Structure 1
Amino acid sequence: MFEDVPIQSIVASIGAIIGLIFGYIGRITRFCTLSAVETAVYGEHWVQMRMWVFAIAVAILGTFLLVQYDLVDLSNTVHMLPRVAILGPILGGLIFGVGMAAVGTCGFGSALRAGSGDLRGLMTVGIIAIVGYMTIRGFLAIPRQTLIEPLSFSLPAGATATVHGLLALAFDLEPDALAMPVSLLMTAALAIWCLKDTEFRTNRRALFGSVMVGLLVVAGWFATGYIGADEFEPQPTESLSFVAAASSTLIYFMTFTGATISFGVGMLLGVFGGSFLAARQKNEVRLEGFDEPREMRRHIAGAILMGFGGVLSMGCSIGQGLTGVSTLAVPSFLALFSMWLGAALGLHILIHGWTLSARA
């Protein structure tokens, strides 16, 4: 039945289904990186942060099982390169986090907004796509290539920049010798930290949302790494991410007659659709725009920072914070923590101005 359908179309279609579910779940459960940081820092309310961490735990376990049973080969992904990048994930993560605070959400959240008719979200996604592509292949790639990438250092043959890979290297063990114990230990530690909190444990919406998001990361790996592992046209192994997906979608529609659709394009379009369905179900579909020029300037600046920072850190809060971390890649952890720190810094600037403390 599907013999004559190009493999990239099949993978993109699966990506659209995954995105549809992600968009719907993300909207109804309010799965948001910035809200998780904001409620934890300023509201001392940790349910949304625990949603994030529990989703990470599910993604780590599911990704490990895919690799353990040889269903997916992650060795050719950007997260498993045989080098350690330090400055890019940290600096890019900080820049991305400040951009999140300026906009009020990340690239995924902006796509959710756009799906319900929010023109601010649509503009933000568009700017992220343009600036992201400029940083990948345009003139903004010059500072990235000359200042950031040379500061990465290579690892010995067979080693990976993962938690278990670096530990195995430090203790002179086989590269994959610690993959199982480290993956299971980290999954258990993160899950226990989340589930020990009664408020989170009894919040069915939060539990459902985190488990589903974690499983969608695993589904993305499976779609591209197993179904997309065509003998003649193998597809890039990837999962949920938004800066690269936004740029790919922009280029796809601009060069449609000669372009090839991809998982990221299907996924992003699916998120728009899923958000629309959830918003329509809750009667929240309406056209919204900027209230004042100052708000527009803030969104433009934030979107530029997210597009540039997302490429420097090799992924956004979803692409690194969930997809990258699910591989236990050390740069992904650096990027995620930097994004959280950048978001907290950006929120502080918005609330208190350029002061060192809230009292100042």
Structure 2
Amino acid sequence: MDLIPLIDHIGEAPTAALFGLITGMIFGVAAQRSKFCLRAATVEFARGQMGPRVAVWLLTFSTALVWVQGAQTLGLFNSDDARMMAVAGSWSGAVIGGLLFGAGMVLARGCSGRLLVLGATGNLRSIVSGLIFAVVAQMSLHGMLAPARDYLARLWVTPGGRNVDLLALLHLPDISGLLLGLALAALALVVSYKNKISTRTLVFASGVGFAVAVGWVLTFSLAQVAFEPVSITSATFSGPSANTLMFFLTPNPVLEFDVGLVPGVVIGAFAASLWGREFKFEGFDNAGNMRRAMIGAVLMGFGAMLAGGCAIGAGVTGGSIFAATAWLALFCMWIGAMLTDFLVDQAGQTAAARPSA
């Protein structure tokens, strides 16, 4: 991929932002049409079902593994150079942050990526929750919550100043990542068949995983020819949400991949909702639901920055390159979400169903 003419024409920073925009648009369209949502999958699983939401999540996750590991096999990408692998990971952050994020996405009724997609389709609840998420994420990165995040993250970190490659840790060959992705994709197709999921939904679900691979390959390609250092990254919505917010609030903002990613998702999801005739304005049903969503957004904002990524950033993007802390964070997100659904939603439904004295 010869990027030099493009860089010479518009510059390195705008090129990075353009790549973020492209990645975000692919993600936005695919996520909106497939209704990809980790929160929905965890709730479904917590209630003893392997239904359509689990199938969509499995297909997204597995195809991300296949696309990313395939790109690495072809030499289009090197996970060792990824930003997530080049810095120390936090085991304690993955556990605590993952649990907080999992609880928060159940309370807010959507992870950060899902809130962004829903907000673009007219869901005002998601817009409010998404803004709170972005503000808390920024506070956790550079604001008053940063010392607490830093303290918890430093409790237990990976050795050597780098994250841990899960495949290397388990002494598995590089090809095993691709093989695992194919095996999970086969499982996803079996679950999809049992739930009679349409081919169109399957294509768009795999498109979310494809967007992750696109982000990795584009930023890696840019880093090979750019004069200034370029972060090799892909779809994630914790840091980018905070960075995009500050881009519009500070003087002399800097263009980068993150700043293009969030608007790209909004554009893609908005266009897809119009195409599917699903755009409509929705608000909070009552004050209780609003409080719940706000608390959830706060937990997600802090949890994502502590865990090193959100349900997309750690759960799919980090998982696709086998960053060990990302897999641990994803596992803890599932646990946190399932416990919250059991203790809050299922318990509340049981109490409401009891006959009054």
Structure 1 length normalisation: TM-score?
0.88
Answer yes or no: is the 8 Å Cα contact 1:128–1:304 preserved in 2: yes
Tell me what 1:307 maps to: 301
What amino acid is the match of 1:317?
A
**Residue 148 of structure 1, CA deviation:** 2.4
Deviates more, 1:38-47 or 1:208-217: 38-47
| Alpha-carbon distance in 2 for matches of 1:312, 1:153 | 14
Give 1:108-257 correspondences, 5 Å limit: 108-155=113-160, 161-168=164-171, 178-197=172-191, 198-199=193-194, 203-255=198-250, 257=251
Q: In structure 2, the residue corresponding to 1:151 is in which secondary structure?
A: coil
**Residue 115 of structure 1 contacts residue 272 of structure 1 at CA under 8 Å; is this kept in 2?**
yes
The AA in structure 2 aligned to 1:109 is R
User: Which one of 338, 344, 347 corresponds to residue 341 of structure 2?
Assistant: 347
2:151 aligned partner, one-letter code: T
Instruction: Give 1:278-289 correspondences, 5 Å limit.
Output: 278-289=272-283
CA contact (8 A) 2:134 2:238 kept: yes
| 1:260 equivalent among 254, 257, 260 | 254
CA distance, structure 2, for counterparts of residue 286 and residue 103 of structure 1: 19
Inter-CA distance 251–283: structure 2 relative to 1 (3 Å threshold): same
Percent identity reads 30
Bigger Cα displacement from structure 2, 336-345 vs 185-194: 185-194
After TM superposition, give the deviation of residue 21 of structure 1 in Å. Answer: 2.2
Q: 1:85 to 1:270 in 2, by over 3 A?
A: same
In the TM superposition, 1:97-116 aligns within 5 A as: 97-116=102-121
Contact 2:19–2:219 under 8 Å retained in 1: no
Asked if the contact 1:7/1:228 (under 8 Å) is kept, the reply is no
**What TM-score comes out, normalization by structure 2 length?**
0.89
Residues 149 and 160 (structure 1 numbering): CA distance in 2 closer, same or farther, change over 3 Å?
Answer: closer
Q: Are the structure 2 counterparts of residues 356 and 209 from structure 1 closer, same or farther at C-alpha, using a change threshold of 3 Å? A: same
Output the CA distance in 1 between the equivalents of 2:124 and 2:196.
Answer: 36
**Shift of residue 35, structure 1, vs aligned partner:** 1.2
Structure 1 residues 231 and 18: alpha-carbon distance in aligned structure 2, compared to 1, 3 A threshold: closer
- The one-letter code of the counterpart of 1:225 is F
Amino acid at match of 1:350: V
- Offset at 1:83? 4.6
CA drift at 1:359:
11
Alignment correspondent of 2:36? 31
Q: Distance in 2 between matches of 1:160 and 1:30?
A: 31
Does 329-338 or 272-281 show the bigger shift?
Answer: 272-281
Deviation at 1:88? 0.8
Change (3 A) 1:13 1:140: same
Q: Which residue number in structure 2 is paired with residue 175 of structure 1?
A: none
Aligned to 2:60: 55
- AA aligned to 2:202 is L
C-alpha root-mean-square deviation of aligned residues, in Å?
2.6
Runs of 4+ deviating beyond 3 Å: 81-84, 200-203, 228-231, 352-360
Cα distance change of structure 1 residues 83 and 7 upon mapping to structure 2, 3 Å threshold: closer
CA deviation profile, 1:227-257 (whole Å, cap 9, x unmatched): 34333123211000011110010011112x4
Aligned length: 348
The answer as to whether partners of 1:349 and 1:355 remain within 8 angstroms in 2 is no
- Counterpart Cα distance in 2 of 1:18 and 1:153: 30
Q: What are the ranges of 5 or more consecutive residues in structure 2 without an aligned counterpart? A: none
Task: Quote how far apart the aligned CAs of 1:160 are.
Answer: 5.4
